[in-house]
Structure 1
């Protein structure tokens, strides 16, 4: 949990004023740093990044420049690069507790938990009164599966800063996972009373705890209230944009057009991707945890690499068109190597994030809804395995309602919008399967849970790997899954998540007619 730059003093220039100042004097270091910090504090890390980068260019031996760059990189899921800049900042100035704690958090995000622990101890010794240090350390102990230690540390964070809502919510989640559901609810209720109200994450955690206690109507009311707050904060489904993109993908990726496409002429070297696709909360994290128990497979988690390729694609191919239409440049004689360049850009990006080791021949990429881009995946990696994890669509929508998600154009903040987006993506996958060859394996979550060994044998065989019994003992895999499902995949297989929707059928009623074609098409029952 990284700390952030100090809040600007009263009367400090706003972002617009700083931008005007930089237009007049582009090399103004103080204004560049101030603008980067201001944008970052406003939750606009992507907008802050160009200014943070320019600050490093202007003053490569200035510790604050490296700290700003590290914060931006950490916030945009690039912990390895963030680590570099935190270390540069610490080498250029006397160590401060916040930067040391932020370095520790970047190590946690890379799964280097023992290093993170040592670094948090150093941060706490430098300044023992920073609540965020203890909260981040608690999350590291959670990742290491030491829940009592995590509880002690987060409770210290709460004592240091009684106003830290996130620490209250995390403390409640830890209590619930240790079987103390009622005390967990008491923590959340006390937090809401202390703050004069609640927040989305606390409401969603309340709903998850109530769900475990079998209080389903109360649980869904908490889910719905949390999602309402997210919508009020502007997190509404970008339906127009989603519909437009999916329609354009379906129009572009058709067999006659695809027959004109070149194919990568040379194979890429090094570990190759396995795309684990599916809706959020469909079981993709479980599949990745199983696969990464095999000695030939490294876990990539939710890699942003395909998204980065999509965003840069028009520029990479020198096209005036957007994605996917910019792929028509591949029909030009001077762009016949375009797919190799796109593929290699993906691999360069991914390999900066994946902790591959000697012996790894494959790595996983499980970004939710990556199946939206199956056409591009198949063009860049014609032989890449695609594992499509399927789960009863009503269970998927219910689980999405209980989790704070941004995937799928913010579709998960309402039952109906989640259902509509799941349907749209399912239809698009069926379109891809009709129009182009795919190395595609549908894998039902329910089959994996009920009969794990046959499902795992089938999965490994699809990847061309021999069966390894460690994949059946995935809960012994000590890697930290950096997703909302990290706690579940640290447990042995359980069936309590199958058909959860039955207890919520009244609340999910608006989704049923929307999802009926998918439910029946996948062989599930209504």
Structure 2
């Protein structure tokens, strides 16, 4: 018969491999109560705790792993840094963790790339460039380091050496398609920046094709399946949510299509003395995934079930942003789950960011998004996705006329009236600082990290006109009924 510790270790490993994180964490805790001298098990416990959203517990487990001499301590330090940066919004602690990782392994590429990314989030352009330069010394021509470094460059024109370097890198024979996609998006971005729009369009088309080629099945967008999902959301929430006597203190929800101005909206609000930017919290999608039979099951969910969901959300919010007064939950695709949000918090303030459809579609196509967002790899698929978004938002707004539409294009033309309306909706007093949002020191985790660190500008509004000659089929697919 196996010893208790051996049996628990085997059980924990099986549960971890099966993706049963909570049960695996419990098994690791039982194991470590018997054998606390197992640093790798502390490390694995930390992985499971984070997967379950128990971030402080994960940090403590990493501390134990480090204290007990875990092999590869730089990975434990890096993982701590990711929790501090992504989950808890503590960039200074994340920086200390990454520096500790590099003290152990000065040439470790993952730490250098994460360091550069963290500096970008904090608006530290020179420091980010230094980190990527170090990465390129360690791994010359590394596609991620090269692409991110190019994204920081201030380009002089189409013949800038950075563009030449990207062209050469993309054309390298035998380059893996994933690397070709990474570099291709960087090349498209650089060409767009210098006004070489036809070349930029071609580079983005090739980059999206390469991204799809890395996982053709996983990147497939099933239009009919998405239509059925939207149908199910509408059917599951046919009428407004019932009032709740005490729903706690929900955040301000900011949602809309990706690249519709949600980050800008959050940065404006975070400039207010009472507001803490929560960033793209995964709490609402996490709850939706955890509900068996979602969304259909919500049609018959009772008061007790919804109260349990509400408590889970508020507990997660408190863990992610403790001691905050007013928090924002800026998860653009939460527009899919407005029915769930309102079921939990009938009085929740929901800011819906809107923008010219062609600008939104192009901006998504220009990004190297996760391949699970297969619709973003094809312009006509993006037009279809947009049409389904419009259909769903019309349903939500018919149920909840209090949803606030914040128009990006109007905001950048005349900021003050739009911001005054936004603050009044959020029950916040006027503060001039909200118009100086670009000076904020808080981290910004978004593809538009450098744009939101500038004063409001209009150059992204109407950007689609630079590519008008390529958009006939997209415009036809959108039709005339394209506003949510």
What TM-score bracket applies, with the shorter chain setting the length? 0.7 to 0.9
The aligned counterpart of 1:241 is: 225
CA positional deviation for 1:363 = 1.4
Q: Give 3-state SS (helix, strand or coil) of 1:277's partner.
A: strand
Secondary structure of the residue aligned to 2:195 is coil
The answer for unaligned runs of 5 or more in structure 1 is 1-24, 40-45, 315-321
User: Residues of 2 paired with 1:399 and 1:438: CA distance?
Assistant: 28
Aligned counterpart in structure 2 of residue 352 of structure 1, from 295, 319, 344: 319
Name the CA distance, whole Å, in 2 between partners of 1:337 and 1:408. Answer: 33
**Distance in 2 of aligned mates of 1:91 and 1:352:** 25
Question: What is the match of residue 287 of structure 1?
Answer: 265
Number of equivalences: 468
Deviations 1:168-218 (A, max 9, x none): 211111224899982332342344456733422221121111111101111
* Closer/same/farther in 2, CA of residues 448 and 178 from structure 1, 3 Å limit: farther
**1:39-78 matched pairs, under 5 angstroms:** 47=19, 49=21, 53=25, 56-57=28-29, 59-60=31-32, 61=36, 62-71=38-47
- Is the partner of 2:470 in helix, strand or coil? coil
Aligned equivalent of 1:266: 246
2:122 alignment partner in structure 1 = 144
Q: 2: distance between equivalents of 1:75 and 1:176?
A: 39
1:466 maps to 2:444: no
Taking the aligned partners of 1:508 and 1:101, their CA distance within structure 2 comes to: 43
Pick the aligned partner of 2:67 from 64, 85, 91: 91
Structure 2 match to 1:29: 9
Does residue 338 in structure 1 map to residue 326 in structure 2?
no
Name the CA distance, whole Å, in 2 between partners of 1:78 and 1:168.
Answer: 35
Cα distance in structure 2, aligned partners of 1:483 and 1:263: 35
Q: Which segment drifts farther, 392-401 or 480-489?
A: 480-489
Relative distance call for 1:492 and 1:83 in structure 2 (3 A) is farther
- Report matched runs for 1:104-143 at 5 Å: 104-109=81-86, 110-143=88-121
Is 2:331 the counterpart of 1:367? yes
**3-state secondary structure, aligned to 1:151:** helix
Look up the SS of the partner of 1:294 in the other structure: coil
Listed one character per residue, the Cα deviations across residues 225-253 of structure 1 (whole Å, up to 9, x for unaligned) are 12112222131224343211111122232
Other structure's SS at 1:431 match: helix
Residues 281 and 396 in structure 1, CA contact (< 8 A), matched pair in contact too: yes
Question: Alpha-carbon deviation of 1:295?
Answer: 1.6
Equivalent residue for 2:207? 226
Distance 1:502 1:495 in 2: 13
Q: How does 1:169-318 map to 2 (within 5 A)?
A: 169-176=147-154, 182-192=160-170, 196-197=174-175, 198-232=179-213, 233=215, 234-255=218-239, 262-268=242-248, 271-314=249-292
What are the Cα deviations for residues 454-478 of structure 1, in whole angstroms up to 9, with x where unaligned? 1100100111111111110000111
- 1:389-424: CA deviation from partner (whole Å, max 9, x where unpaired): 110000000000011224985321110111111111
**Aligned mates of 1:382, 1:172 — CA distance in 2:** 45
Report the secondary structure of 1:517's partner residue. coil
Cα distance in structure 1, aligned partners of 2:157 and 2:49: 36
Following TM superposition, by how much is the alpha carbon of 1:53 offset from its aligned partner in structure 2, in angstroms?
Answer: 3.0
CA distance 1:264–1:152, shift in 2 (3 Å): same
Work out the CA distance in 2 between the residues paired with 1:187 and 1:53. 47
2:440 & 2:154 partners in 1: Cα distance?
Answer: 23
Alignment pair present for 1:443 and 2:406: yes
Partners of 1:165 and 1:421 lie apart in 2 by: 30
Residue in 2 that maps onto 1:386: 350
Deviation of 1:298 (Å): 1.5
Q: State the distance in 2 between where 1:408 and 1:439 align.
A: 32
- More relative contact order in 1 or in 2 (CA 8 Å, sep 6+)? 2
Residues of 2 paired with 1:439 and 1:503: CA distance?
Answer: 36
- Single out whichever of 458-467 and 76-85 deviates more from structure 2: 76-85
Displacement of 1:99 after TM fit? 2.1
Unaligned runs of 5+ in 2: none
In the alignment, the residues of structure 2 paired with residue 216 and residue 82 of structure 1 have an alpha-carbon distance, to the nearest angstrom, of 46
Task: Tell me what 2:137 maps to.
Answer: 159
Distance 1:88 1:183, change over 3 A: farther
Q: Tell me, yes or no, if structure 1 residue 489 matches structure 2 residue 466.
A: no
Moved more, 168-177 or 388-397: 168-177
Match of 1:510 in 2: 473
Q: Where in structure 2 are the equivalents of 1:4-19 lying within 5 Å? A: none
Once residues 75 and 236 of structure 1 are traced to their aligned partners in structure 2, the CA distance between those partners, rounded to angstroms, is 27
Contact 2:247/2:344, CA 8 A, preserved across alignment? no
**Distance change >3 Å, CA 473–CA 355, structure 1 → 2:** farther
| Native 8 Å contact 2:279 2:330 kept in 1 | yes
The answer to whether the 8 A contact 1:129-1:160 is kept is: yes
TM-score norm. by structure 2 comes to: 0.87
What are the Cα deviations for residues 436-461 of structure 1, in whole angstroms up to 9, with x where unaligned? 23421111101110111111001001
TM-score (norm 1): 0.81
* Distance (Å, rounded) in 2 between the aligned partners of 1:80 and 1:448: 39
Secondary structure of the structure 2 residue equivalent to 1:288: helix
Quote the Cα distance in structure 1 between the aligned partners of 2:54 and 2:169: 32
Q: Structure 1 residues 323 and 517, CA, compared in 2 at 3 Å: closer, same or farther?
A: farther
